[in-house]
Structure 1
Amino acid sequence: VLSVERPPTLQGWNWGYCGEYAFYHALYPRAWTVYHLPGQDVTLTCRQVSPVIPHDYQDSSLPVAVFLWDIENKNDYDLEVSIMFTMVNGSGHKDDKSGGHWNEPFHLEKDGDAVSGVLLHHCPAVNPYTLCIAAREKVSHQTAFSPKGTCSALWNDLITDGRLDSPTGSSPPTAKGDKVAAALAVGCTVPAQSHNMLEFCLAWDMPKITFGSREREHIRRYTRYFGARGAASPALSHYALTHYRQWEKSIEEWQRPILQDSSLPSWYKSALFNELYFIVDGGTVWTELPEDADVSGGLRSENGGLPAQPAVIKEYGRFAYLEGQEYRMYNTYDVHFYASFALIMLWPKLALSVQYDIAGSVVQQDPTERLHLMSGRCSPVKTRNVVPHDIGDPDDEPWQRVNAYLIHDTADWKDLNLKFVLQVYRDFHLTQDRQYLQDMWPICQAVMESEMKFDLDGDGLIENSGYADQTYDGWTVTGPSAYCGGLWLASLCVMCKMAILLDNKEMYQLYRSTLDKGSTAFDKLLWNGKYYNYDSSGRDLSNSVMSDQCAGHWFLRASGLGDGEFKAFPQEKIRSALKSVYELNVMSFAGGHMGAVNGMRPEGVPDRSSVQSDEVWIGVVYGLAATMIHEGMLTEGLRTAEGCYRTVWEQLGMAFQTPEAYCEKSIYRSLAYMRPLSIWAMQLALNTFPHFLLFDRVVVVGEELL
């Protein structure tokens, strides 16, 4: 058994593989696990391939994975080699023992290619599905066996001749309390001192889903190509086993320019591709837009709203991913602001689809009063003309009922509206989709008008309200602040740009005059000669150094702005602020080896005034690194981001479950989180900065940048 585990069941199998003889390497969506078998003088390499392919909206939606086994025979004689693939009918959930589950063998021939395997029908009352294990040649199977007990019979069946009994017919439905599994074996001859290969596929067909409320049925995206009857597993497996070579070609063409760029360190290449796991593994749903859906929220285009069914959602579907596997809210927007770089760069149509859904929810309201946990006060679930915190809880009815977040009333948060505006223009800049810009313009105007009320003294700068009213929802901020004030000025800047593009001189003048006033106030109230103070409250800790103080400027740079007429911050002040952050938040924290701490005191100790100020947020650090790269600080940017990668992927052992946060003492919070997808902002910065300027002072020695 190719596992180092020794489980309490299956004792009749040959456990005890030594992990020292194996190693693993990943560049998502592919991975390689190498197993050396010194006793047999054989090396097995399992290559895992998932069709997660940029700009591909068909095969990327498919619920399949392929396992390709390269077998190297180092002996001077031929070998007959068989590999067995076993699978439990279920997901590890308690309903695996609910009874009524059954398996059956299948064989499918199409276009000259044959695929055989076992279908595992999982039949709970809600969201039934079929798993499928399949292969192409010399396939034998065991339709059903109990994973309890020793399972010696299955093992003996395999080792007798390398094949399984292959009974015909279906297994009986399981009794309540029992589990059932299936096995597939494939064999081949491997010539002496040579190689051969075996191919396996796993598919899972759950075409229709309901969320916790059970109110609506949603149809998954892949059913457009394989049907929604729940009988697609054989066809999915056949398609995967006959198309994976093209998938790998596409993946290699996408990744090759980055992997072959010798000026980039290996850790960055690993982080860039492997953080993409969350696009798929973040509780993700990709569904068709129901025929009766009205995305506009009731306010149509002619009245300053949206089309009922925007073309991009009709064509490419609805997309939602969780804030984190432990934070159960879909498309949490203050965090998606950071993570969205992965979508807009790799699957831009899905990024625009998310934006249309958010825009439609802006104009909606839900006056239902509910208690918010931090303030202890009741307020409406959703206020009109403000961006929602999220599009809902998977245990309720996402898209239908938004704002599952209960800690604060986010109608008064200062960052959500601004993050919508900034994403709208960045997305337009990267896609040049004029229809999208026109559709979003009235929504941007509405949320900016809502935001204006936070400028209490008319100086052109919004003010925070003395509680944690932004994405740092445990870190109190009072009055004008570096983070929200910077986002505000950047939003005014992109509103000016959009007004010119849409030939709206009146709105341009409004936003320009507000930007000019606000910039003056921002400098006067927050600039201290080296960096922008955390806030202007005058508290003892108001002059803390916030790692995220240049977030607004980051988005301007990512949108091709930040110079000339469309500039919100003096370049020399941005560079001074970034230098201060690097010296204090990065190099004065944990020896410069753990990224940037959120808050640092000017005397060089972390700001411990809140549960979040002394945390490192990995997604924020990647955004900070991108900002540094945009400003020509490549060495500093890579050093900053490298600390997070080394901490998470190497020291803490959290590969493919990057948390939201960790502290200097290696305490972490919220495993498998959305925000670190912001590493793709670093790639955008590398793509857009002139290459000869970016690398003119970098020397590469081995894997280290000096």
Structure 2
Amino acid sequence: MSLSSANPVLPLPQPFVKNTCEKGENVATYAHHSALRSGLPLGGIGAGTLEFFPDGTRGAFTGLNNWEKPLGQLHNFRSGPFGDYRVANPFAVWVDDGRDQPYAFLLQTLSIGTAPAVDGIKMAGLFPVAELSFDCGDIPLSIKMIAFSPFIPGRDEDSGTPAAFFRLTISNKGDRPLKVSAMASAVNCIGSWNVARYNEALSEGNLAGIIFRKDRPDPFDPREGTIALAARHTADTDTFICDSSPYVKKCFRDLAADDLIVAGWDQFSQSGSLPAGLGPQRLEGEFGEWIGAIAQRQRDPLLPGTSTQWEFVYAWHMPNHPNGHQYERKYPDAWAVVEDAFARFDELYQSTVSWQNSLVQHAALPDWLADALINNLYPIFSGSWWVRDGRFALLECPTHHPLLGTLDVHYYGSIPLALLFPNLEKSMMRQFAHYQLADGYIPHDLGKNRLDCPSTGTSAGPRWKDLCSKFVLLIYRNVLYWQDEQFLTEMYPTLIRAMEWQASTDQDGDGLPENEGMDSTFDNWIMSGVTPYTGSLYLAALRAAEECALRMHDPQNARVFHERFIRASRSFDALLWNGTYYRATTDNDCTICQLNGQWYAHMLGLGYLLPS
């Protein structure tokens, strides 16, 4: 039995090129050679993620409180694809037909050391579930893997589990019984420095695995905590743990495939078992890395036409965050995450895929739209903070501009959050209300990599003219979605002050705010006077504020907002209509989003804002 030579080059993130994908029944399927810049993120809300790529590798790990810099090179001494964390966590399979030499191979298309790889992989992904099929060449096996993390509308805590779940299914397609074994491995990446890392084998009940730790932990290092890799032990399997094994042969510069060692590979490739490892030895030198592995071998041969399954969980627990994590309220360490994950593995998976199926299989949506609606939810995992005291916020851009809660971006991107996880949306709105300035202005964000240091905007000059209107529209949207009058009562004083600030930006009595430079979501685009983008948002906000006032039995403010709307709508039409379209600037420019307020008004049932 053998596999043909696999692709030796790891397609690490690179400039975008056209993806190689095929149209599946309901979702695009990517091949291992697809040049994707990102994988499917596994992890949890506010917990960080581990990306799973179509070539079978897993990397770009942000579970170490490192949203701004996903884990790449294991050490700054090293470079190139083989020095990357992405290749350091391989799965593998061993098979013996009792006739030829036993054979073992990695479940990825990149060979490491003496370990060969599969010929190819196809991956179908609907966030946060990936389904991989492996091409084993002439080996008579069908191998499939499901990887997922819980993402269940309305179940915030379960959707914030800091773990990736894996289910491996192997089927015998041949005519002879086969002995089979499966292995999962991971490198210890705890701490900003590799010295003093150690791996500890652990077996409790029906679980067996490895906890990755660091001796003398630094309470100020955000990358310190615990990671666990575990499997479920069953009566029909033999479980082997290689807790600690050297992963690299050399220290500096580019690493090649031959410079890496898969844990216990010589023994696994012969017998499907693993050596015991070196025990919880402390890593003493900066040149080294520890890798650990778990293997499970079927005691009875797999008969032709039958299948077997293995389940693995990779979990993390990183408490050294300035504000902590919500998951710390439930889990004391990574092993506790593993225990809970296995206890509810099936239920969490079924609950995750059930809402996907409601869109993919039952909604009257084109495949491409269902795919887009589901897969564009990933920032709720990959770009979120959910801290110990319950505060939640989304990052504008984790790696380049890590502002939390950015309101003008949240205005566009928070519809799924409000529908699926309303308590998290409430948290963000309450934080912005808390930081409203004395004059009524709503800040631009909650802070850069923090939740307690809001700014008024990212561009120089006057305060932004779109934020207060957007804040009011978000309040009314959420009230409509949730039918939560208590939330409106809580937010109403903040709404009134925000609308008064917005009204004060009318400098000439036409009823519309005047832009004064770089003072909107367009950052460095200089605008002056009345503009359709800011103006239409204000018109929509006036209508939303009027409806909120009516709900609050406040006829005086309802009348004020209605009268302001009538005057502002007339001015908007008189000042900006050029006979053919509403101009974006004094130069008769036209932009695709300039009537953004009308979009939101339609979405909220507020009617037309301008004369027909």
**TM-score bin, normalised by smaller chain:** 0.7 to 0.9
Mapped contact 2:118–2:134 kept (Cα < 8 A)? no
CA distance in 2: counterparts of 1:527 and 1:244, whole angstroms: 59
Q: Is 1:319 equivalent to 2:392 in the alignment? A: yes
Contact 1:71–1:190 (8 Å) recurs in 2? no
1:140 maps to what in 2? 240
Q: Are residue 356 (structure 1) and residue 400 (structure 2) matched?
A: no
Query: Matched residue of 2:293: which SS?
Result: strand
CA contact (8 A) 2:209 2:229 kept: yes
Q: Deviations over 1:358-380 (max 9, x none)?
A: 1101136xxxxxxxxxxxxxxxx
Q: Which residue of 1 aligns with 2:407?
A: 333
Change (3 A) 1:96 1:24: farther
Indicate the structure whose relative CO is greater, using CA pairs within 8 Å and at least 6 residues apart.
2
Q: How does 1:176-195 map to 2 (within 5 A)?
A: 176-188=286-298, 189-195=301-307
Displacement of 1:183: 1.4
Asked if 1 retains the 8 angstrom alpha-carbon contact of 2:199 and 2:292, the reply is: yes
Give per-residue Cα distances to partners, 1:660-686, cap 9 Å, x unaligned.
xxxxxxxxxxxxxxxxxxxxxxxxxxx
Aligned mate of 1:403, from 455, 472, 475: 455
Q: 1:244 to 1:529 in 2, by over 3 A?
A: farther
Of the three residues 560, 564, 572, the one matched with 1:514 is 564
Task: Note the alpha carbon deviations across 1:163-214, whole angstroms, 9 max, x for none.
Answer: 112348422244334322211222334321222111110000113412xxxx
8 Å CA contact 2:247, 2:262 repeated in 1: no
Which secondary structure does the structure 1 equivalent of 2:202 belong to? strand
Aligned residue identity for 1:139 = T
Residue aligning to 2:147: 48
1-side partners of 2:420 and 2:431: how far apart? 19
- C-alpha displacement of 1:96: 4.2
Cα 1:240/1:3, change in 2 over 3 Å: farther
Q: In 2, are the aligned partners of 1:108 and 1:234 still within 8 Å (CA)?
A: no
Q: 1:549 Cα deviation (Å)?
A: 2.2
Partner residue in 1 for 2:446: 391
- 1:287 maps onto 2:387 in alignment: yes
Please state which structure has a larger fraction of its residues in strand: 2
Structure 2 counterpart of 1:444, one-letter code: L
Q: Say if 2:569 is the partner of 1:569.
A: no
Instruction: Give the whole-Å Cα distance in 1 for the aligned partners of 2:360 and 2:406.
Output: 32
1:187 and 1:198 in contact (8 A); partners too: no
Instruction: Trace 1:204-223 onto structure 2 (pairs within 5 A).
Output: 204-210=316-322, 218-223=323-328
Indicate whether 1:126 and 2:225 are aligned.
no
- 2:537 corresponding residue in structure 1: 487
C-alpha deviation, 1:11, in angstroms: 5.1
Equivalent residue in structure 2 for 1:224, among 329, 332, 337: 329
Question: Residues 148 and 349 of structure 2 are in contact (CA less than 8 Å); yes or no, is this contact kept in structure 1?
Answer: yes
- CA offset digits 1:603-633 (Å, max 9, x no partner): xxxxxxxxxxxxxxxxxxxxxxxxxxxxxxx
Cα-to-partner distance string for 1:27-67 (whole Å, 9 max, x where unaligned) = 11111111110221212111011011111022111101111
Tell me which residue corresponds to 2:121: 22
Q: Which residue is 2:67 aligned to?
A: none
The match for 2:598 is: 553
Equivalent residue, structure 2, for 1:100: 196
- Residue 157 of structure 1 pairs with residue 209 of structure 2: no
**Match for residue 429 of structure 1?**
480
**Quick one: which of 171, 174, 185 aligns to 1:86?**
185
Distance 1:464 1:507 in 2: 25
Alpha-carbon distance in structure 2 between the residues aligned to 1:237 and 1:5: 33
Give, in whole Å, the separation in 2 of the partners of 1:343 and 1:15.
43
Q: 1:454 to 1:158 in 2, by over 3 A?
A: same
Give the deviation of 1:337 after TM superposition.
0.7
Q: Judge conservation of contact 1:45–1:71 (CA < 8 Å) in 2.
A: yes
Distance (whole Å) between structure 1 residues aligned to residue 184 and residue 202 of structure 2: 16
Letter in 2 for 1:497: E
Q: For residues 76 and 446 of structure 1, what CA distance do their matches in structure 2 show?
A: 76
C-alpha distance after superposition, 1:509-555 (max 9, x if no partner): 211111000000111112234432113x3x3xxx2221112321222
Secondary structure at 1:509 match in 2: helix
Give 1:674-693 correspondences, 5 Å limit. none
Across the aligned residues of Structure 1 and Structure 2, the Cα RMSD in angstroms comes to: 2.3
Aligned mates of 2:287, 2:363 — CA distance in 1: 56
Counterparts of 1:5 and 1:473, CA distance in 2:
44
CA–CA distance in 2 between the matches of 1:153 and 1:180?
Answer: 9
Write the distance in 2 (CA, Å) between the matches of 1:108 and 1:504. 62
Work out the CA distance in 2 between the residues paired with 1:235 and 1:418: 45
Does residue 414 (structure 1) correspond to residue 465 (structure 2)? The answer is yes
TM-score using structure 1 length? 0.66
When normalised by structure 2's length, the TM-score is 0.76
- Which segment is superposed worse, 178-187 or 487-496? 178-187
Cα distance in 2 for partners of 1:457, 1:197 equals: 72
The aligned counterpart of 1:680 is none
1:152 Cα shift?
6.9
The amino acid that maps onto 2:328 is T
Asked if 1:57 is matched to 2:156, the reply is yes
What's the counterpart of residue 267 of structure 1? 368
Q: 2:521 aligns with which of 456, 471, 475?
A: 471
Q: Which residue of 1 aligns with 2:207?
A: 115
SS at match of 2:315: strand
Counting aligned pairs with the same residue, the percent is 28
Deviation at 1:261, TM superposition (A): 4.0
What is the distance in 2 between the residues matched to 1:362 and 1:3?
58
Gaps of 5+ in 1: 211-217, 290-316, 365-383, 573-706
Tell me, yes or no, if structure 1 residue 198 matches structure 2 residue 338.
Answer: no
Q: Distance in 2 between matches of 1:153 and 1:421?
A: 56
Contact 1:5 1:16 in 2 (8 A): no
Distance 2:597 2:166 in 1: 44
Q: 1:251 to 1:77 in 2, by over 3 A?
A: same
Task: Check if 1:172 corresponds to 2:282.
Answer: yes
Q: Could you tell me how far apart the structure 1 residues matched to 2:344 and 2:8 are?
A: 33
List per-residue Cα deviations over 1:244-274 (Å, max 9, x = no partner). 2111221232122211247422111111111
Give 3-state SS (helix, strand or coil) of 1:38's partner. coil
Contact 2:473 2:544 (C-alpha < 8 Å) held by counterparts: yes
Matched residue type, 1:79: L
1:492–1:278 CA distance, 2 compared to 1 (3 A): same
Deviation at 1:141, TM superposition (A): 1.6
Shift, 1:456, TM fit = 1.0
Change (3 A) 1:568 1:405: closer
Question: Unaligned stretches of 5+ in structure 2?
Answer: 10-80, 84-110, 250-259
Q: What is the CA-CA distance between 1:402 and the residue it aligns to? A: 1.6
**Which one has a larger percent helix, Structure 1 or Structure 2?**
1
The answer to whether the 8 A contact 2:245-2:277 is kept is: no
Q: CA deviation at 1:406?
A: 4.4
- Equivalent-residue separation in structure 1 for 2:344 and 2:315 (angstroms): 14
**Hey, what does 2:504 align to over in structure 1?**
453
CA distance in 2, matches of 1:30, 1:153: 27
- SS, match of residue 185 in structure 2: strand
1:248-263 equivalences in 2 (<5 Å): 248-261=349-362, 263=364
